[in-house]
């Protein structure tokens, strides 16, 4: 219980500080504060996708229903975060680059990620036998994740990018943010990650209760 | 081990020959894929006019035609097994890797045939620059391998589902978009007159994509096939 109160206080403090301190990017100005929220969301979208894939591998190895439930819960949360990252990124793009969508490599990658999640849920919806749904969903999740390295490493080299290369890490692999910006950014990243695991845990417990109820009804 | 691998090659060949024979009897998939390709090509060519298209537009149009044609026919191999109820017999007689490779080669033959017919038509209809064909043929071969490598496993997945046709495109598109970006980028450079050496990075990308997708498919196929 105590850590939930602590999380609440810390997140409130982080949000307040993120608006009270000077804007992180002088050139862009006030709107650059969105970066404290946009990057953690994108990171969680990818992390959830990775977790979903790991649980899918576990399901294929052990065939335990619980692993499939976890994979779905991670994918659902990841979808929410990746939608949020797309929306915040699109607003930020409108402010700084002049249009909502530019087919920048990161935008392409996030779009493909959205499509993969969408296809994953579409596939699960089209299969009615539970074991079949779990196994085929797991295979698709793993197979789709195989393309992610291309999105991160190869596509950005083939398509010109508007995303700043040195916004977080510059070419010498050193952090290029000021100390206050860095503190707010990393606390935001950490707090959102804790929030994500809490949400994941809640989803897991709800799923377990649904399973118990289904067994009682049978 | 040599015994077993010889068995694998024989079984792969048997699956491939069986599918080829079945296809030659009905020509269902080939007709579908070919007519779809010709129709898309005609619509595109009609809409954008014949001459003066930029290399970028030509490359994009070509791969849009290829993508939709592939989507119309490549799922047939597995859907037919499920619909006629022969999947079970195949499961008993051949091991999953042989089935996968047989179907992969069959899809490769199907898409190659279609490419051989569609590509000259494309040059005729759109007046694309045809003085730099060697690198383009190389891109085509890698592109066809990549398309088949990614979609054969998806075809096996959707054969088990209730709504097959629409789902095939929905599941394939996110995986193929990465490949299509690479193919369009490479083809554009070829239409611009660049040589094989100059498009080396793009070719590496296409080879890596095909190798990763086919390896991933071989590892994952048995989980789909056993369902």
Q: Where are the domains of chain A?
A: 34-217
Neighbours of B209 (CB within 10 A): 26
Asked if A136's CB is within 8 angstroms of B160's CB, the reply is: yes
pLDDT in tens, A135-192: 999 999 999 888 887 877 777 666 666 666 544 444 444 445 677 888 888 889 999 9
Residue of chain B whose alpha carbon sits nearest to that of A132: B227
Residue B93 CA to residue B96 CA, distance in Å, equals: 10
SS3 call for A146: coil
Provide the residue ranges of all domains of chain B, joining segments of one domain with +: 2-225
In the predicted structure, residue B124 carries a pLDDT above the cut 70? yes
ipTM of the complex in this document:
0.87
Checking B41-45 for CB contacts under 8 A at 24+ apart, the result is B41/B65, B41/B118, B41/B121, B41/B122, B41/B125, B42/B125, B45/B125, B45/B126
Residue B218 sits at the chain A interface (C-beta within 8 Å) = no
SS3 call for A169: strand
Backbone angles phi, psi at B192, to 5 degrees: -80, -5
Tokens 């990018």 correspond to A161
Residue B147 CA to residue B71 CA, distance in Å, equals: 10
Min Cα–Cα distance to chain A from B163, Å? 6
Digitized pLDDT (tens) for each residue of chain A, 218 residues in all: 788 899 999 999 988 988 888 777 767 777 778 888 888 998 898 899 999 999 999 999 999 989 999 999 999 999 999 999 999 988 888 888 888 888 887 788 888 889 998 999 999 998 888 889 999 999 999 998 888 878 777 776 666 666 665 444 444 444 456 778 888 888 899 999 999 999 999 999 999 999 999 889 87
Residue of chain A whose alpha carbon sits nearest to that of B201: A158
SS3 call for B94: coil
Neighbours of B4 (CB within 10 A): 9
Residue A140 CA to residue A143 CA, distance in Å, equals: 5
Who among A108, A126, A136 is closest to B163 (CB)? A126
Sign of CA dihedral A106, A108, A112, A115: positive
Neighbours of A81 (CB within 10 A): 22
Residue A103 sits at the chain B interface (C-beta within 8 Å) = no
């Amino acid at each position: 219980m105590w850590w939930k109160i602590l999380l609440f206080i810390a997140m409130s403090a982080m949000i307040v500080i993120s608006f009270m301190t000077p804007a992180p990017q002088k050139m862009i100005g006030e709107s650059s504060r969105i970066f404290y929220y946009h990057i953690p969301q994108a990171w969680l979208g990818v992390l959830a996708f990775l977790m979903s894939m790991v649980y899918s591998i576990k399901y294929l190895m052990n065939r335990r229903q619980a692993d499939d439930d976890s994979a779905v819960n991670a994918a659902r949360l990841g979808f929410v975060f990746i939608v949020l990252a797309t929306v915040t990124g699109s607003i930020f793009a409108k402010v700084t680059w002049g249009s909502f969508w530019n087919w920048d490599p990161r935008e392409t990658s996030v779009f493909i990620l959205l499509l993969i999640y969408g296809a994953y849920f579409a596939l699960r919806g089209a299969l009615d036998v539970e074991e079949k749904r779990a196994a085929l969903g797991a295979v698709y999740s793993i197979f789709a994740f195989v393309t992610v390295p291309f999105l991160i490493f190869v596509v950005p080299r083939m398509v010109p990018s508007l995303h700043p290369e040195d916004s977080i890490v510059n070419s010498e692999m050193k952090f290029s943010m000021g100390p206050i910006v860095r503190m707010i950014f990393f606390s935001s990243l950490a707090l959102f990650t804790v929030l994500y695991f809490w949400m994941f845990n809640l989803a897991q417990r709800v799923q377990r209760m649904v399973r118990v109820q289904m067994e009682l009804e049978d | 081990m040599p015994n077993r691998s010889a068995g694998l090659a024989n079984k792969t060949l048997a699956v491939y020959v069986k599918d080829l024979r079945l296809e030659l009897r009905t020509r269902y998939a080939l007709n579908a894929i070919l007519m779809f390709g010709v129709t898309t090509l005609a619509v595109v060519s009609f809409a954008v006019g014949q001459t003066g298209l930029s290399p970028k537009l030509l490359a994009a149009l070509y791969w849009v035609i290829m993508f939709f044609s592939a989507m119309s026919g490549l799922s047939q191999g597995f859907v037919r097994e499920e619909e006629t109820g022969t999947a079970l017999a195949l499961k008993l007689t051949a091991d999953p890797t042989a089935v996968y490779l047989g179907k992969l080669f069959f899809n490769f033959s199907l898409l190659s045939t279609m490419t051989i017919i569609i590509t000259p038509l494309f040059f005729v209809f759109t007046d694309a620059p045809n003085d730099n064909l060697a690198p383009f043929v190389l891109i085509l071969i890698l592109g066809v391998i990549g398309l088949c490598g990614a979609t054969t496993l998806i075809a096996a997945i959707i054969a088990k589902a209730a709504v097959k046709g629409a789902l095939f495109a929905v599941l394939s598109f996110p995986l193929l978009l990465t490949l299509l970006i690479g193919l369009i980028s490479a083809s554009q450079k070829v239409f611009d007159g660049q040589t094989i050496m100059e498009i080396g990075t793009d070719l590496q990308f296409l080879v890596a994509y095909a190798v990763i997708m086919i390896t991933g498919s071989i590892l994952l196929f048995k989980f789909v096939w056993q369902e």
